[in-house]
Amino acid sequence: MHIDIDEIAKTFGGTTALLPVSLNIPSGALVALLGPSGSGKTTLLRILGGLEFPTSGRVLFNGQDATGMTVQERRAGFVFQSYALFRHMTVFDNIAYGLRARPRNQRPPKAEINRRVTKLLELIQLPDIAKRYPTQLSGGQRQRVALARALAIEPRMLLLDEPFGALDAKVRKELRQGLRDIHDETGLTTVFVTHDQDEAMELADLVVVMSMGRIEQIGRPHDIRDKPATEFVREFITT
Amino acid sequence: MSDATLHTRRHAFRAATEEAPLLRITLIGIAVAGLAILVFAPLAVVFAEALREGWLAAVESLGNQDARSAIWLTLLITAIAVPANAAFGIAAAWFITKFDFRGKAFLITLIDLPFSVSPVVAGLCIVLLFGANSAIGGWLVANGWPIVFAIPGIVLATIFVTFPFVARELIPVMIEQGRAEEEAALTLGASGWRTFWTVTLPNIRWALLYGTLLCTARAMGEFGAVAVVSGKIRGQTATMPITIEMLYNEYLSVAAFSMAALLTALALVTLLLKTLLELRHADQLAAIRRH
């Protein structure tokens, strides 16, 4: 699914989080929103997911206006920064949550839910943890469970907020590859937010550099590295 | 090795947060003495006084018409006030923690108001507002719905006095948990209602249980506000605490203390219930808290 962001702006009370920004995300792309904290990248991601609504501007999914769509209607697989796993549910119940939440006539039968959850656990290479609680998992395992939970709803796109932020360097490297593999396998349009330029450069097809509610530059990783468009991008990339 | 060297050695290996032995013994002593004087002694006295003339006299004093009516009334008031306050408390805590709006601090203060206002004043406010001499009260009495000196007034007074218990237990827990899990549920397609039942409520259930139990104990024991609005009509609007006071003033000490013992026992049962539930779900609790 391709996503068009058309002059989206957002203010919270008196503070401006996003100046009008526009961005076209091609279908199946893996896009990084890169910038320091306060650059508006998370706000933009949350607007895509339907968790915030823009003050002005439009969001289009496959060319159709999706600005007023509710969060449930958007069917965006969202991975939260601290994963937001349901702490009182087992891993299995976490992953099955979205399927069980469907209206009765669209809800898969129990055996089908079982099958899909098992398959997702294999996809994230953690087949044996179905009965555990989130507190009994390592950080890297939690992140993968959060990803599986988001994938379970057969999302139209995948949105990840600092997916590797809370992990140590070694696990981070592994999971980057894991996300790349899952992206390539599912072909889902994927947008992730990061403040780590290595992560953005290594993982993404398209990098969007943001600062203070503005988009500074949109380009492929090597374009941004070789030809930074603004002074801000040059400095942010070299530090 | 002499005692002196042993002593210094123990000093040397003391953990940073550990207190000196003398201080420790003193502190424990103060705590135990405080508990004994303020909690255990009164409890023991209540039961001892109730049973002074034997089991039979105590049970008999609870069996008469007025006593049964008081017990029934207290249970009825509690059964109305506690669910109402649980619902109000959840709604208030939800509103305060999940939304950003102006005047939030003011609203939190307002929720605490019943703790700072004297229950007697609260009772008087209800009398002034709904008494037969007020416009609202006059109309209600004329239509056969008296509030003051009747059960609705007692319910209102009890709800007012016990209002903060549930909300105050829930607000810190819900602030600490944030909104991320609810947001996750919504992105997974759950409706707001489903999110509440499957994510919010399970996450706050222990705080809710604790708040509800405190609220129950307090609702059963409320005296000041109820004393003002009830009119103390024996057999009709006299709750257990009111009946205890009336019996005591009439020098019927066995009857007064039997009723008091029963009220205490009811409060103890709620606490026991909480402990039992905690024991039964200990592993689950630990799993959630380690998060």
- pLDDT of B1 reads 45
Per residue in A71-91, pLDDT tens? Answer: 999 999 999 998 999 999 999
Tell me the CA end-to-end span of chain A in Å, nearest whole number. 34
Contact predicate A216/A208, CB 8 Å: no
A 142-181 residues with CB below 8 A of B?
149-150, 152-153
Tell me how close the Cα of B92 comes to any Cα of chain A, in angstroms: 22
Residue A32 pairs in a beta bridge with: A192, A207
Token pair, residue A106, equals: 């669209």
Neighbour-count burial of A166, counting CB atoms closer than 10 A to its CB (0-12 exposed, 13-18 middle, 19+ buried): middle
- pLDDT of A119 reads 94
pTM: 0.81
- pLDDT of B13 reads 66
Nearest CA in chain A to B194: A101
Cα A182 to chain centroid, rounded: 13
Inspect the interface and report whether the beta carbons of B187 and A135 lie closer than 8 Å: no
CA-based nearest residue to B188, from A114, A108, A145, A97: A97
Is A138 at the interface with chain B, CB within 8 A?
no
Contact predicate B156/B230, CB 8 Å: no
Per residue in A139-170, pLDDT tens? Answer: 999 999 999 999 999 999 999 999 988 788 88
Contact predicate A145/A153, CB 8 Å: no
Inspect the interface and report whether the beta carbons of A72 and B191 lie closer than 8 Å: yes
Inspect the interface and report whether the beta carbons of B180 and A82 lie closer than 8 Å: yes
Neighbour-count burial of B35, counting CB atoms closer than 10 A to its CB (0-12 exposed, 13-18 middle, 19+ buried): exposed
Q: What is the pLDDT along chain B (291 residues), one digit of tens a residue?
A: 445 555 555 555 667 777 788 898 999 999 999 999 998 999 999 999 888 888 888 888 888 888 999 999 999 999 999 999 999 999 999 888 888 888 888 888 888 899 899 999 999 998 998 888 888 888 888 888 888 888 999 999 999 999 999 999 899 889 888 889 999 999 999 999 999 999 999 999 888 988 999 899 899 999 999 999 988 888 888 999 999 999 999 998 889 999 999 999 998 898 888 888 778 777 666 655 544
- Report the CATH fold assignment for B57-290: MetI-like fold (1.10.3720)
Q: In B, which residues are within 8 Å of A84 by CB distance?
A: 180-181, 183-184
Among A84, A98, A136, the residue with its CB nearest the CB of B189 is A98
Where do the structural domains in chain B lie, given as residue ranges? 1-50, 57-290
Inspect the interface and report whether the beta carbons of A98 and B188 lie closer than 8 Å: yes
CA-based nearest residue to A203, from A222, A176, A225, A165: A176
What value of ipTM does the predicted structure carry? Answer: 0.92
Inspect the interface and report whether the beta carbons of B186 and A71 lie closer than 8 Å: yes
Inspect the interface and report whether the beta carbons of A102 and B199 lie closer than 8 Å: no
The Cα B51–Cα B61 span in angstroms is 11
Inspect the interface and report whether the beta carbons of B287 and A136 lie closer than 8 Å: yes
Nearest CA in chain A to B200: A86
